[in-house]
Structure 1
Amino acid sequence: MRRYLHAEWTKLRTAPETVWLPLGIVVATVAVGLVVAVNIPCTGPHCGGDPTKAGLTGVQLGQAVVAILAVLAVGGEYGTGMIHTTVAAMPRRWAVLAAKAAVVTAVVAPAATLAVAVSALAGRRILPAEAALHTVLRAAGGSVLYLLLIGLLALGVATLVRNAAAAIGVVLGLLYLFPILAAAAADPDWERHLLQVGPMTAGLAVQATTGLDKLPIGPWAGLGVTAAWAAGALLAGAAALAARDA
């Protein structure tokens, strides 16, 4: 397995997007979070809504950059034909995908951690928050885990689709389509169900620090839904990689 990890790390490290996409995760997440935080109206020591969640709003844009990075880890090889060399040199295809998942996670993790930490700290400095520290830490830590899961979801979809542009479209559709459908639903029950099953709407419930009883799904249960999407995509991608000709 070490050889597989070394090969995938070398390929990803030497790709030009490996430099600017992790930076893009940080910039996009922090910038959007700051813009939202400074525009929330506050009256005295109190602010409306959930200040902690507002400071982490940038995750909704940062996840798109994470998805692009993960898709290019696979889609780039199919686009150049390098995948033929990869599977010839490393015949255990499930190990190839596992190595890619590990390497993508290793690249996304520090960028996601920095982005979320800066967003959470800046949000608390700008907005007076009454949430307990452990709930803020859960929201921040859960946001990092959420971004890692989005990377794995995108990796699985890219392996299944085998085209970078199509895979990015599918992943972004999965993320942003469910909240649109929920907003358009006339039946409150359907709206709630759509929010419960969408990988983004369910997963980002982990950011909430207030009004937990009003959420369509609990924070950790919602993150579990995102994990199920990621696991399903990886399993489908692994099956396709093993069954189809490269």
Structure 2
Amino acid sequence: MSGVDVTGFRRACRAEWTKLRTEAGHGWLMVALVLVTVGVGAAVSANVPCPAAGCGQDQVRLSLTGVSVGQVFPAITAVLLMGGEYGTGLIRTTLVALPGRGTVLAAKATVLGGTVLAVGSVAVLASALAGHVLLPDAGYTPAHGYPPLSLADGPTLRATAGSVLYLVLVALLALGIATAVRDAAVAAGSVLALLHLFPLLSHVVTEPHLQRLLARIGPMPAGLAIQATTNLHRLPIGPWAGLGVLALWAAAALLVGGTVLRLRDA
């Protein structure tokens, strides 16, 4: 990459960071990401009992349940970051100041991804801590076959780190879709529909092989496989492979969005 490109990218990142931190809505969405993710995870950890040995629950996944609810906030942040600019016409000013459209999208993705990585880490780690405190009171004790929740345990560390990456990839998926459709409301609806379509279809269809296929290719069910720490052989897709499926969805959305951004007028 040439020096001019690096300079332009840095300028674009500074501009996007300024937008992200100065617009109050983005900040509140990040706060909501933490509060909802931790709140839902804590509620599940406290209220799903394990009254006897072999209750069959994955305590790590229980503590991280809030991620599947909190994901809506980074998705909406991404949609507003791009779709909001189209709605207000600010995108024209952005593209005049930074004519490299690919650079603009790359800068938005970098700033958004870095922000969600930082805030998502707080949310996920706090959820794991809440699980560590609350799960024993619900019966998840060594006597029932559940050692204390700890990041020193390899599968637990993988599930928590993967959950943070899941949130980042959902945000990038939403950014790509928002760039392609250019309307914040339509983009938000499209992202949420895409995330929940495959789990919904899995409950509608009755053919086991088709259910398994939907769980393997859907961005949400495949991506959330990263949270599993028990009975991995029963999963439709492995944890890292599932997260890879979500990464492919995000990359495809960004590719389509970037192509539309380059080929169409603002």
> Fold match, TM over 0.5?
yes
8 Å Cα contact 1:56-1:120 kept in structure 2 = yes
In the alignment, the residues of structure 2 paired with residue 61 and residue 181 of structure 1 have an alpha-carbon distance, to the nearest angstrom, of: 19
Give CA deviations for 1:164-214 in whole Å, capped at 9, x if unaligned. Answer: 010000000111111010111110000000010010000000000001000
Give CA deviations for 1:81-134 in whole Å, capped at 9, x if unaligned. Answer: 000111111110000000000111122112100110011121122223347811
In the alignment, the residues of structure 2 paired with residue 125 and residue 42 of structure 1 have an alpha-carbon distance, to the nearest angstrom, of: 15
What residue number does 1:223 align with?
243
Q: Which of residues 255, 259, 264 in structure 2 aligns to 1:235?
A: 255
Structure 1 residue 12 corresponds to structure 2 residue 32:
no
Q: Which of residues 66, 78, 101 in structure 2 aligns to 1:58?
A: 66
Q: Which of residues 188, 195, 217 in structure 2 aligns to 1:197?
A: 217
What residue number does 2:3 align with?
none
Using structure 2 for the length normalisation, give the TM-score: 0.90
Using the TM superposition, give the Cα deviation of residue 2 of structure 1 relative to its aligned residue in structure 2, in angstroms.
Answer: 1.1
What residue number does 1:149 align with?
169
8 Å Cα contact 1:40-1:48 kept in structure 2 = no
What residue number does 1:169 align with?
189
Using the TM superposition, give the Cα deviation of residue 46 of structure 1 relative to its aligned residue in structure 2, in angstroms.
Answer: 6.2
Give the SS at the match of 1:43.
coil
- Tell me whether 137-146 or 7-16 shows the greater mean CA deviation: 7-16
Q: Structure 1 pair 114/45, CA: closer, same or farther in 2 (3 Å)?
A: farther
8 Å Cα contact 1:41-1:48 kept in structure 2 = no
Amino acid at match of 2:99: P
Amino acid at match of 1:178: F
- Tell me whether 129-138 or 178-187 shows the greater mean CA deviation: 129-138
Structure 1 residue 69 corresponds to structure 2 residue 44:
no
Give the SS at the match of 2:71.
helix
- Tell me whether 155-164 or 15-24 shows the greater mean CA deviation: 15-24
Using structure 1 for the length normalisation, give the TM-score: 0.97
Count of aligned residue pairs for this structure pair: 246
| Counterparts of residues 51-200 of structure 1 (less than 5 Å) | 51-127=59-135, 128=140, 129-130=146-147, 133-200=153-220
In the alignment, the residues of structure 2 paired with residue 21 and residue 48 of structure 1 have an alpha-carbon distance, to the nearest angstrom, of: 35
Amino acid at match of 2:235: L
Give the SS at the match of 1:41.
coil
User: Where does the alignment leave 5 or more consecutive residues of structure 1 unmatched?
Assistant: none
In the alignment, the residues of structure 1 paired with residue 210 and residue 54 of structure 2 have an alpha-carbon distance, to the nearest angstrom, of: 33
Q: Percent identity?
A: 54
In the alignment, the residues of structure 2 paired with residue 117 and residue 221 of structure 1 have an alpha-carbon distance, to the nearest angstrom, of: 23
Q: Structure 1 pair 186/47, CA: closer, same or farther in 2 (3 Å)?
A: closer
Give the SS at the match of 1:167.
helix
The two structures, once aligned, show a CA RMSD in angstroms of 1.3
In the alignment, the residues of structure 2 paired with residue 3 and residue 38 of structure 1 have an alpha-carbon distance, to the nearest angstrom, of: 47
Give CA deviations for 1:17-36 in whole Å, capped at 9, x if unaligned. Answer: 12211100001101111111
Structure 1 residue 211 corresponds to structure 2 residue 207:
no
Using the TM superposition, give the Cα deviation of residue 71 of structure 1 relative to its aligned residue in structure 2, in angstroms.
Answer: 0.7
Using the TM superposition, give the Cα deviation of residue 44 of structure 1 relative to its aligned residue in structure 2, in angstroms.
Answer: 5.2
